[in-house]
Each structure stands twice: as structure tokens, then as C-alpha cells.
Chains A and B, each alone.
Chain A
Amino acid sequence: MGAEQKFLVCWCACVCVCAQKRLWEGTEVGTNLADGASDNKVDHVHDTMQATDAPPSPPAKDQTQRFAFDERIWEATNVEINLVEDAPPIRDKEADEADHVLDTMQTQDFPPPSTAKDQFQEELVIKPLHSGDIYASFQFRTQWDTDFLEKHKFSHYRLFPKSLGQVISKFSVRELHISFTQGYWRTMQWGQPFLPSPPGAELWVWFQDTVTDVDLAWKELTNVLSGIFCASLNFIDSTNTVQPSASFKPLGVGNVTDQRFLRYAVLPREIVCTENLTPWKKLLPCGSKAGLAVLMKSEKLFHSSFHSQALHIRPVCKDWQCKSTSWELRQTLNVVFDLHTSGQGKREWSLFKMFSRTLTEACPLASSSKVYVDITDNPQGELFELSPATPLVSQAVVLGDGRTYSVYDLTDHATFGQTHSLNVLLRWRAAESGEMLRPLLHGERYVAGYGLQTGEIHTLVYNNHPYRAFPVLLLDTVPWYLRLYIHTLTVTSKGRDNKPSYIHYQPSKDRLQPHLLEMLIQLPPNSVTEVTVQFERALLKWTEYTPDPNHGFYVGSSVISALVPSVVAMDTNNTQERPLFSSFFPCKEESTYFMRIYTEPLLVNLPTPDFSMPYNVICLTCTVVAVGYGSLYNLLTRTFQVEEPSQGLAKRLANIIRRLRGVPLLT
């Protein structure tokens, strides 16, 4: 792996974790990195954290010392971040390389000759979960060595979907990540997903720094995507769009990290169904005609506990030298099938049972097409039986945990056997599948209090690591109609105040922009950190209520991004599998990994007028107020006087004469 590329990847992942890391990185590593990195961010962070009004000095020694503590923590996690990219069993270039090494018995098929500028890979990972449920994750990757931004250079599309290519070139998109999720990933039961996503729709986009009016491009882009994916993305407007300063850093090649070019929005209410799946499937080169995509029958995919489909576009290095970039489109689909509702309690899974289809061929356009089954917990086959058996075994480090996979290569005809179809079958032998390792990081969130005036948002972040503390970045986006009392923000761990080392808060503007709160919090080992903030519920204008106001209003998930210490170092058994000389110091590459988790969205009731008879209410109220108040006010302010009886004409005349004469008037 080339040093330069390594640095780049490392750097990308680093910045995506936290700004604070970038502080000292700027001092030490930053010189090696691209000088063009706009580091106004760094100054900003400095200002926020130090709260000094000294002019921002270049990264100096005292600052380095100031962050010496942080540095120490981060140092252990420095180079390690490579793993972020290798971590999922997704094929990156590096991961591919790793695979070449690891797939000991596998006859590796190399990508097509370099004359073809685009290639397509597909894979399916099946992971039996400890709860008895089963997790199936599809990944489709299309890579194309082209430059969309030079508008006249290309017009011919082969594998890459034209609709997306046009979107990239028209809106000068650098990175685009969109996910549609139905359901909530149950971290405590299922462990970590390969690609996390919040319930509803999530969209975040990095624009090229050549874009002048980002807001306009964002608005148009969301409307176009809304059309492409048949989703309500057109509901994304300024009231739910934010620009996170640290939580969402580019995942692809590039060094522009100015948050002005980032837009992030979540629609927690979005319902995902077949009408979103169909256009998503159409973007695949083989559609749903061949390859793994034949398994995607919507009646089965939506008969599950969790369904998430996502699409990621980013620039990646073309080759190991990373002289030029190519575009990567990655489509993922994650499903969790429920043991209880679909299996009648019988622990047996097969492709046919899950998808009501079996595999008969690979997608002919795919350079690689594989099915992986996680057999880590089942090395000797004592837990479950896997049939047909496959000789191919692959190992990978996924989310800090070494996993072993059985591999079925669909490009190899022998895989399909006599029946010309592949139906992977897992049959459990043991009734219980053992204890699951507790996820090291998970979060939950709820609204506390009662009544319709105020409330309190509680976010709990759990660090289940027995002895290591690590920092997390918490991102909260709260709609404007919940008026946060930011002075009531408290962060407590183990009963003590835990001061965040970095806070970025952007207050809301009524009907214009939401609250944005980003914090860097150090989680003590084996602790629960509770973040609370009080809010007041605003009374909306009567046209601003949704058609079902008594359902409540959604607040999107909090995002928790972290560099989590790896479980490999916690594992005491690993000395048995590895040579002794390799296992004394915890290997850096395995010691931490990047993780992002989402909390559940909130449903908050706002004070709601009775819409069932607005006319009556308005009429009655106005009448009562007008009549009652008006007349009472009248009575209170008017003084009553007995009216003088009008004088006769003669007397008036006499008085005029008397006045002229200066004699007292007649009464």
C-alpha cells in the first residue's frame, strides 16, 4: 500500500471522526498532508474550546501541550484508521488486496483487463445473529474511471447508471450518501450493522468547492433525487438541513473539509416500501434479472424486522498509486429476518426461506459475485450446519472483530452443483447460540416529562468497554418548534459533570433553520453518559400543523460517531490462534475502529388546537371575547352622569343677555 495513499485514506477517516484530532494532526502530521486543506475549522475549534480572544496563532507548541492529553489518547488510534476502510467486508482496493492474501484457497478472479474503464462487483453477506434472527447484507459496487465534471468528455454509459451520472455532473456533487430505512437497528440484540443508517431517509452530500450557490444546488438536488427514488425528499428544506462541523467528513478521496459544502438532512417520518426499492434496483447493471438481485423480492424483503437500502457515491483512488481518482457507486441493502414471525420458532434458515428464491447464476456483467456466510462462532460446525459445504474460507476484521466467512463464488459453476441452483441452508444444532459480546457503544434517547408545555430530551450513550475511555462526537438536530433551553444542557457520566471538550451550537430560527448541537464527549470506561437538555414546545400557526397533528412531530435521530477500541484486544483467546511473537503488544491496526450509531427518533406531541370544529370554536371565542370584554370595558371606563334637562329657548336667550351684562346666570 503506497504511503501517500495510506495517508490520504488515513486522513480522510481521521477528519471524519473529530475535529479535535485534526488539531494536533495539523501540528504534526498536517505538514505531510495536503497543504491546501482549509483549516479555518481548526481555528474555530480553538476559539470555541479555549474561549480566548487571542488571535489564532499558527499551531504552536503550547497548543500541542494543551492537547497533550487528547493527543495521548488519539495516538493509539492514529494510523489504525485504515481499518475503517478495510473494516466492512466490502471490497475496497486495500480490502481486495487483503483478500488476495487471505483467501488462501480461493482462486481469485482478477478484475477485467484495464481497458474496460468500469467494473461491477456484487456480494451478499449472511450473518446469523445471536437472537436467532438472520442478517442479510447485499453490496453492489460499480466503479468507473471517469471524470463527470468535464461535461463534454463523456456521453456513453455502460455499467454506471446514467441518471446518477447526470446528477453528479449537473450539481457538481463530490460525495452523495442516501439511505432509506424502515425500522430501527437493535444494537443490543444484533450487534453492529455493516453500514448504519437512521430510521427514515437520510441524505448527506458534499458539493465540489466550485459550486457557488450551495443552497440552490442542494434544493434542486433533493428534488431530483426525490423523483429518482420515488421518495419525499422534496420535503427537505432549510428547516431540516444542517451543516455539521465535524460529524460527517468526506469518505472518499479529497481534502476539502469546509463544511460550507456539506448538507445533511434526515426525514425520520419517511416510510420506505416497494416504490423506493424498485427504482433502487433499476440502478443495478443487471437490474433484478440476474445475479444476487434476483433474491430481492419485495414481499419477502418487507416481511422482516429491519429493512435498509442505501446508495453511496464517492471518488476513490484509481490504483494503488492514487495518481487519479475514479467514481465509486455502492448500493447496499440490509435486511434482518425475524425468527419468531417467519420461522414458527424453528431455527432453520435458507436462501429460499428468506427470499423465496435460490441463486442460479452470477450477474454476467459482474467481475466478482460472492456469497459470504459468517461462521466465526461456528468453527467446528457445532452450532449450526451449513449446506452445501464450501471449501472457501475468508477472514476479515469487521468492526474491530476478526470474523471468518465461508465463501460461495457464484462465478464458479461448480458452486451451483448438480441442481444448477444454490440454496444456502443453515440448520441449528444447539438451541442456544451463546452469549453475545455486548456492543461497546450504543445509545438511546427519549423525551422526559409530561404535559404539553415543556419537556426534556435525554440522550444516553453507553461505553461498555471495561477499561478504555474513548471520545464520541454527538450530533443532535432538533426542529425549531422545540425551543431548546441550551443553558440547561448537562452532560453527566458516573454521576459527575462531564465537560465536553468541543461544542458547536447553532441556534434555530423560527421557520428557517433547526437547532444544531455537536459535542465531543469523552466517555469514561464502563459508563453511561447522559446528555439532557430542556425544551419548550412552540405553538404553531394553524396552517403549519400536519394533517395528523395528534400523531406528534418527529425529531430525527442523534448521530454518535466514535473511534471505538477494538474487541480484538479484549479477547484473551487470541494468543491461541496467533503466533506468540505477534501478540504481545496490541496491534495498532486492530486497536480501534470507526463506528457511527444512530439513536431512535423521537415523537413529540405539540399543543394542538381542536381541529374538528374550528369554525365553531373561532366563532364562539370571537363572539364571547368581543361581546363580553367590549361591554365590560365600556362599563368600567364610562362615567355616568345625570343629564341636565334642556333649557328653554327663553331662558337661554335671557342668559346670553345676562352674560353680556355681567349679571349671574339663571339656573
Chain B
Amino acid sequence: MGLLSDPNRRRALTNLLTRLNAPICVVCYLAGVMWFMGLAFEPFTLRTYMSENAMGSTMVEEHFPAGERALATGREFAAHKKKVGGMPVNWLVKTMESRGLEVFTQSFTRKLPFPDENKERYLVRGTNVYGILRAPRASRTEALVLTAPCSQGNANNQAVGLLLGLAQYFRSQVYWAKDIIFLVNEHDLIGMQAWLEGYHHTNTTGGDWSPLHGRGGSIQASLSLELSSDVITSLDLVLEGLNGQLPNLDLANLFHAFCQKIGVLCTIQGKLQRNDWESTSGYSHSAQTMMLMVLKQASGRPWGDHGLFLRYHIEAATIRGINSFRQYKTDTTTIGRLLEGMYRKLNNLLERLHQSYFFYLMPSLTRFVSIGYYMPAFGLLAVILLLRALDLWVQLGASAPGTEDGLAEREQDPRFLPLLNKLVISHMTGVALYCLPVMSQEMAVQHFPVSETEAVVLTAIAIYTAGLALPHNTHRLLQGEGTEHGWRVLKLVALLYLAVLLGCTALINFSLGFILALSLVPIAAFITPPLSAAIMVLLSPGCTLLYCVLIFQELQETPVSLQDGWMLFLSVISQGILDHSLYGSLVYPLLALLIYPCWLLLWNILFWK
């Protein structure tokens, strides 16, 4: 700090920074991207290890025998489901009661803001059925949850069968120290949301559910099971939850440890682990896995039924059975044993899972990148914004007449009024983008031949595009600006605003922050009035979303044409809006209310006259 308080040295430092500003920024950007890509390189990552002592040292023997019976129960469930045409509530209640559980039901109603075309639902009515296995000599203070969804069609019948089979087996064991709640939820996440809000007596999204009558205290951990075939080839672990929250890494470690012990193939992001990290293909495999995780996390949606538990500080993951064309098959008994083992270890927990990491990326199931390793990649991008801001500040100071008292003078400067105008107008556009699509859907449907969902998405895109025309119009309205000084001040404000925004976002959801930084930082850093508008548009948040969709499909090895990609893009927008209104995902409001206005500020500079 002595460096800064000495005027001469300070001058030298600022001179250096302003002279070399552009090269430093370019180097930082490249270094940030390189650092990020390096995270997937195996020698740079850490091997996962079990941090929780209560789960590590204790040996558990699995005895679950009744896989076949569980499948039979699953078939029975399927028959009843078909007969009732939905959730067979009475049958489930009776079956759970006969297995010695305390059974309760919860009914819920939810009206979506507009029809969900992916899942074809609008007014959702359903019932959750759950049974509580009371642990002997425990005082209802702690609980574990196992859930299986009652899905449309023939999906997940085996999961419900296995859940009931496990309930019966667990009931006859004496070693439980925590209550175990077996939950069959209808309408996947909507039912889960209703149940969790009922359990915790909150109402964050205005749903309508009946109160719960049986509880088991504070829930320590939860697993969601998705199983749609009698035999499977591998089990996939899904971690990404609402708003990019992740469960404690020990839960993933536990899953991996039991897969190893029992001999089940396990994957993450649907990708098997490979051992050839030296080869290019090995590296690109783990880079793909990590990129998939980053994209999923950035989307902020719950990628399985577990995703909503994380808000309540309940460690949760989804285990999904995959049946592919591989030779080696695993039967239901083995999956049952795996779950039994996991629950017995979770049962041994003395504290909530807290020893291991909550912020991590996984290039494979045995490797992870902790927050300390990935944050520098973002930091290198974010520092560019600060460097450019410093540069602008120095330039503004040099051009203003009085260097020391310039700030005070400028505050009274009438030239700051248009700046304020621009800020307000950009944010108003953001608010319009946030509110209007859902509010004006009826009007749109009346005037245009589109469905409600299309109306919402197209309105959003229309408002987004209309925002691009704003600079022209506002210029006509507001006279007396367009100085060189004016856009510099505007850019300075926009840079600092963006830096704060991205910094906060990256702390909560690193992936989202990093992806936004990747596309927004270059334009924010190098924008000057004559820059090409095309680049600006191509790097706008909306286009970033489109690229993400395309890259995601590419990484999932289901590449799509641009035409399909566009359709997918439209559905992603509608899903994003739905996620926000149904589960309280924050990505849509973040983009609409903060990131988009910030980008509009930069867009204004482009048309500075």
C-alpha cells in the first residue's frame, strides 16, 4: 500500500496499467479460459475421498434379498396405476400400511402460469403418498427420505416397486436410528415441491397443498430413485439442484464407494470414467463431463427430483438406472443392496453431512475440482472488468480539468442526468421482459394464431429485441449528450455494475457466472462507439443461451440441427420461466432484471452519437 500512497510510484503504476491495459486484458482472458479448461486435466484435479468419519470407517453388510418380489410389486403398482389412470392412492396406502409404515397422504393443486408443452400440463392435481418407518427408540428428531416418482406411462414402476420392497425389508431391521420416509410423489417436481413446502410449512411459490400430518423431524439426507427397467447396465448419479446448488460431495463419494463395493457400473452426466487421461481423447472425455456439469449447473434447474431438497439444507441426489446395450446387466436385488448400504451408512451419521465440499465440479466420479481451484478462472475474467474500469477512471481524471476535485464537480454536472436516464430505461426494459410475457399471454393469444406457451416465449423474444432499438429512440428524446466524456462515464458505470453482478453470481452459482463472464467480458472490455453491432448481438445473453443449448446437445452426443436447436431454445426459455414460477429458480429474474439491462447499457455505448 505504500506503493499507492506514494504519488510518484502510483503514477508509474497507473501509467503501466493504462499503457499495457489491452494486452493485460487479453492475457487475462486467455489465461482464464485456459485455466478453466485445465481443470478437467486429471493431474490438476484432486481424487475424491470420504471425509465423514461416521460413514467411512464403519463396515456395512448388505442383505437385501427381495429384488424379484420388488419387481412383482412394481408390476402390481403399474396395473393399479393403469386402472386408476394416475396415482393409485388407495392401493399405495394399503400396501404401505401392510408393510408396517405409518402412512399419510397429501393432496395438492397447482395452476401453471401457462401450459407446459413439454410435459403437457396446465392445471395439476395430485396426491403424494408417504409412509414413515419409525425408528425404534428414536424420538422423531431426524429422518432420511427415499423417493420414487409416480410418472406418466410406464416409467419408474420398478422404482416404486423397489421402494416398497426396501420399506418392507427395512421395517424388519432393528438398527435404524433415524426415521425413514418413503415418498411416492406424483407429477414429479410439482409434487415434490408441494411435499417439501408442506413438510417445512413454507409457501414460496404460491402453491396450494394440504398440510402434512406426519413428520419425522429434521431431514438429514434424501435419495430419489428413477428406475424404468427390470435390469440395468449402469447407475447414473445426478447432483445438480435448484439454482445450481449441489449436495455435499460425501454423498457422491458414498454412492461411488458402494458402486465399487457391489460392482455396479456408475456414471456421472451419463459418462463412464476413463483411465487414459494422458491421451487426448481421455482428456476431452473428462472435459466434456465437466462441461456438461457446468452447463447443467448454470441452467439453475433441478435435474432430478432431489433438486428441491437442497434449498432446505438437505443433502440429496438422484440415482437413475440406465439400461443400454451393454452385455453386463445388474438386477434389482443388487440395486436394493446398494441402496440398503447407502441408507445404513447415512443412518450412522451423527451430524449432517458437512465435512466435505459443497462447491465443486466433477470431471469424473473419482475426481473433483474444489472451489479454490476453479475460482481463479473466474477471477481472471473478472479482473479484466476492473482493469478496464481503472483505465477509464484514469482517462476521465486526465481529461477533467481538476484532478483532485473532479469528482465533486462532476456530481453536479448536468451531463450525468442522461446517464441516470439510461440506467432507468434499461432496467424498465428488464422489468418489462420479466413481467410482460406471462401477463400479456391472453392478449397475444387473442391477436395472433399461437398457443399460450408460444405467446409467452415469443413475447419475451420480442421484448428482448425491442430493447435493442431503444438507444435510437432515447437519443431522439434526450438532447444534449453524445460527448466523448459521456460514453466513458457510462461505460465505467456499466463495467463496475457488471463486475459486481458477475462476482455475486459466481459466488452463488459458479457455472452461471463463468459462462456469462465468458460472453459478456470481451464486449464489456473492448466496446467503443464504432464497434460492430453484430459482434455485440452475437455475444448478448440471449445468444449465449442459444450457444449453450447447442453445445449441451453436442456434449450429450445428440447433436441437433440449427432448426431443432431453435425449437429447443424456445422451449428452454419457456422452461426457464416455468422453473422460476413453480420452484423459485432465480436464473430467469437474474437474466431479465439485471444481466440484460446491464448489457443494454453497453449496447447504448455502441450507438453513442
Question: Which interface residue of B140, B350, B355 has the most chain A CB atoms within 10 A?
Answer: B140
Question: Which interface residue of B1, B136, B351 has the most chain A CB atoms within 10 A?
Answer: B136
Task: Give CA–CA (A344, B100) in the complex, Å.
Answer: 12
Which residues of chain B are within 8 angstroms of A184 by Cβ–Cβ distance? Answer: 134, 138-140
As a 0/1 sequence over residues 138 to 182 of chain B, the CB contacts with chain A under 8 angstroms (1 = contact) are 111110000000000000000000000000000111100000000
Chain A stretch 630-646: residues in CB contact (< 8 A) with chain B: 631, 634-635, 638, 640, 642
Q: Are B217 and A551 in contact (CB under 8 A)?
A: no
Q: Are A302 and B173 in contact (CB under 8 A)?
A: no
Which residues of chain A are within 8 angstroms of B141 by Cβ–Cβ distance? Answer: 552, 554, 600-603
Q: Are B174 and A450 in contact (CB under 8 A)?
A: no
Closest-CB distance, B517 to chain A (whole angstroms): 23
A638 interface neighbour in B5, B171, B213, Cβ under 8 Å: B5
Closest-CB distance, A95 to chain B (whole angstroms): 31
Sampled A-B contacts (21; CB under 8 Å): A183-B136, A183-B137, A186-B102, A199-B139, A304-B137, A306-B137, A341-B136, A448-B200, A449-B200, A449-B201, A450-B200, A450-B202, A450-B312, A548-B351, A549-B351, A550-B354, A600-B141, A601-B141, A603-B142, A605-B313, A631-B4
Chain A stretch 43-92: residues in CB contact (< 8 A) with chain B: none
Query: Which residue on chain A has the smallest CB distance to residue B213?
Result: A444
Task: Give CA–CA (A199, B142) in the complex, Å.
Answer: 13
Chain A stretch 435-473: residues in CB contact (< 8 A) with chain B: 444, 446-450, 452, 456, 458
Q: Are B139 and A200 in contact (CB under 8 A)?
A: yes
Task: Give CA–CA (A635, B173) in the complex, Å.
Answer: 67
Chain B stretch 188-239: residues in CB contact (< 8 A) with chain A: 200-202, 213, 215, 217-218
B7 at the interface (CB under 8 A from A): yes
Which residues of chain B are within 8 angstroms of A602 by Cβ–Cβ distance? Answer: 141, 217
Q: Are A450 and B311 in contact (CB under 8 A)?
A: yes
Which residues of chain A are within 8 angstroms of B352 by Cβ–Cβ distance? Answer: 550-552, 605
Chain B stretch 311-329: residues in CB contact (< 8 A) with chain A: 311-313
Chain A stretch 527-573: residues in CB contact (< 8 A) with chain B: 548-552, 554
Q: Are B201 and A456 in contact (CB under 8 A)?
A: yes
Which residues of chain B are within 8 angstroms of A183 by Cβ–Cβ distance? Answer: 136-139
Which residues of chain B are within 8 angstroms of A200 by Cβ–Cβ distance? Answer: 139
Q: Are B174 and A341 in contact (CB under 8 A)?
A: yes
Which residues of chain B are within 8 angstroms of A554 by Cβ–Cβ distance? Answer: 141
Q: Are B217 and A634 in contact (CB under 8 A)?
A: no
Which residues of chain A are within 8 angstroms of B174 by Cβ–Cβ distance? Answer: 303, 341
Given known contacts A450-B312, A605-B218, A635-B4, what 7 new A-B pairs fall within 8 Å (CB)? A184-B138, A184-B140, A306-B137, A339-B100, A340-B172, A447-B218, A550-B351
Task: Give CA–CA (A552, B140) in the complex, Å.
Answer: 14
Q: Are A631 and B215 in contact (CB under 8 A)?
A: no
Task: Give CA–CA (A605, B218) in the complex, Å.
Answer: 9
As a 0/1 sequence over residues 559 to 600 of chain B, the CB contacts with chain A under 8 angstroms (1 = contact) are 000000000000000000000000000000000000000000
Chain B stretch 1-20: residues in CB contact (< 8 A) with chain A: 1, 4-5, 7
B134 interface neighbour in A305, A452, A642, Cβ under 8 Å: A305
Chain B stretch 86-103: residues in CB contact (< 8 A) with chain A: 100, 102
Closest-CB distance, A442 to chain B (whole angstroms): 11
Task: Give CA–CA (A188, B215) in the complex, Å.
Answer: 13
Which residues of chain B are within 8 angstroms of A551 by Cβ–Cβ distance? Answer: 350-352
Q: Are B136 and A338 in contact (CB under 8 A)?
A: yes
A601 interface neighbour in B1, B139, B312, Cβ under 8 Å: B139
A404 at the interface (CB under 8 A from B): no
Given the known interface contacts A554-B141, A635-B1, the answer about A305 and B136 at a Cβ–Cβ threshold of 8 Å is: yes
Task: Give CA–CA (A638, B4) in the complex, Å.
Answer: 12
A522 at the interface (CB under 8 A from B): no
A106 at the interface (CB under 8 A from B): no
Query: Which residue on chain B has the smallest CB distance to residue A451?
Result: B313
Which residues of chain A are within 8 angstroms of B142 by Cβ–Cβ distance? Answer: 603
As a 0/1 sequence over residues 594 to 627 of chain A, the CB contacts with chain B under 8 angstroms (1 = contact) are 0000001111110010001000000000000001
* Count of B interface residues, CB-CB < 8 Å: 33
Q: Are B139 and A268 in contact (CB under 8 A)?
A: yes
Task: Give CA–CA (A364, B95) in the complex, Å.
Answer: 50
Query: Which residue on chain B has the smallest CB distance to residue A272?
Result: B137
Closest-CB distance, B432 to chain A (whole angstroms): 31
Query: Which residue on chain B has the smallest CB distance to residue A627?
Result: B1
Given the known interface contacts A341-B174, A448-B202, A551-B351, the answer about A186 and B136 at a Cβ–Cβ threshold of 8 Å is: no
A21 at the interface (CB under 8 A from B): no
Which residues of chain A are within 8 angstroms of B312 by Cβ–Cβ distance? Answer: 450
Task: Give CA–CA (A339, B140) in the complex, Å.
Answer: 19
Which A residues are closer than 8 A to B by beta carbons?
182-184, 186, 188-189, 199-200, 268, 302-307, 338-341, 344-345, 444, 446-450, 452, 456, 458, 548-552, 554, 600-605, 608, 612, 627, 631, 634-635, 638, 640, 642
Closest-CB distance, A634 to chain B (whole angstroms): 7
Q: Are A448 and B102 in contact (CB under 8 A)?
A: no
Given the known interface contacts A446-B201, A448-B202, A450-B313, the answer about A307 and B1 at a Cβ–Cβ threshold of 8 Å is: no
Q: Are B217 and A340 in contact (CB under 8 A)?
A: no
Task: Give CA–CA (A538, B1) in the complex, Å.
Answer: 38
Q: Are A634 and B139 in contact (CB under 8 A)?
A: no
* 9 nearest A-B residue pairs (beta carbon): A199-B139, A448-B201, A631-B1, A550-B351, A183-B137, A603-B141, A600-B140, A182-B137, A551-B351
Which residues of chain B are within 8 angstroms of A189 by Cβ–Cβ distance? Answer: 102
Closest-CB distance, A489 to chain B (whole angstroms): 16
Which residues of chain A are within 8 angstroms of B134 by Cβ–Cβ distance? Answer: 184, 186, 305
As a 0/1 sequence over residues 341 to 362 of chain B, the CB contacts with chain A under 8 angstroms (1 = contact) are 0000000001110110000000
Task: Give CA–CA (A446, B354) in the complex, Å.
Answer: 23
Which residues of chain A are within 8 angstroms of B1 by Cβ–Cβ distance? Answer: 627, 631, 634-635
Which residues of chain B are within 8 angstroms of A642 by Cβ–Cβ distance? Answer: 7
Task: Give CA–CA (A549, B202) in the complex, Å.
Answer: 25
Task: Give CA–CA (A450, B217) in the complex, Å.
Answer: 13
Which residues of chain A are within 8 angstroms of B171 by Cβ–Cβ distance? Answer: 340-341
Task: Give CA–CA (A184, B179) in the complex, Å.
Answer: 12
Task: Give CA–CA (A608, B311) in the complex, Å.
Answer: 17
Given the known interface contacts A444-B215, A446-B201, A447-B218, the answer about A548 and B4 at a Cβ–Cβ threshold of 8 Å is: no
Query: Which residue on chain A has the smallest CB distance to residue B138?
Result: A183
Task: Give CA–CA (A551, B102) in the complex, Å.
Answer: 25
Task: Give CA–CA (A509, B355) in the complex, Å.
Answer: 33
Which residues of chain A are within 8 angstroms of B172 by Cβ–Cβ distance? Answer: 340-341, 344-345
Which residues of chain B are within 8 angstroms of A341 by Cβ–Cβ distance? Answer: 136, 171-174
B217 interface neighbour in A305, A306, A548, A603, Cβ under 8 Å: A603
Which residues of chain B are within 8 angstroms of A448 by Cβ–Cβ distance? Answer: 200-202
Which residues of chain B are within 8 angstroms of A446 by Cβ–Cβ distance? Answer: 201, 215, 217
Which residues of chain B are within 8 angstroms of A552 by Cβ–Cβ distance? Answer: 141, 218, 352
Query: Which residue on chain A has the smallest CB distance to residue B174?
Result: A341
Which residues of chain B are within 8 angstroms of A452 by Cβ–Cβ distance? Answer: 313
Q: Are A302 and B351 in contact (CB under 8 A)?
A: no
Query: Which residue on chain A has the smallest CB distance to residue B355?
Result: A612
Closest-CB distance, A480 to chain B (whole angstroms): 20
Closest-CB distance, A636 to chain B (whole angstroms): 11
Closest-CB distance, B379 to chain A (whole angstroms): 15
Closest-CB distance, A431 to chain B (whole angstroms): 11
Which residues of chain A are within 8 angstroms of B173 by Cβ–Cβ distance? Answer: 341
Which residues of chain B are within 8 angstroms of A635 by Cβ–Cβ distance? Answer: 1, 4-5
Task: Give CA–CA (A268, B218) in the complex, Å.
Answer: 15
Task: Give CA–CA (A604, B174) in the complex, Å.
Answer: 26
Given the known interface contacts A183-B137, A305-B137, A446-B215, the answer about A640 and B7 at a Cβ–Cβ threshold of 8 Å is: yes
Question: Which interface residue of B102, B312, B350, B352 has the most chain A CB atoms within 10 A?
Answer: B352
Which residues of chain A are within 8 angstroms of B100 by Cβ–Cβ distance? Answer: 339-340
Task: Give CA–CA (A307, B173) in the complex, Å.
Answer: 18
Query: Which residue on chain A has the smallest CB distance to residue B141?
Result: A603
Closest-CB distance, A153 to chain B (whole angstroms): 43
Task: Give CA–CA (A340, B131) in the complex, Å.
Answer: 15
Question: Which interface residue of A603, A631, A642 has the most chain B CB atoms within 10 A?
Answer: A603
A304 interface neighbour in B102, B136, B311, B351, Cβ under 8 Å: B136
Closest-CB distance, B457 to chain A (whole angstroms): 31
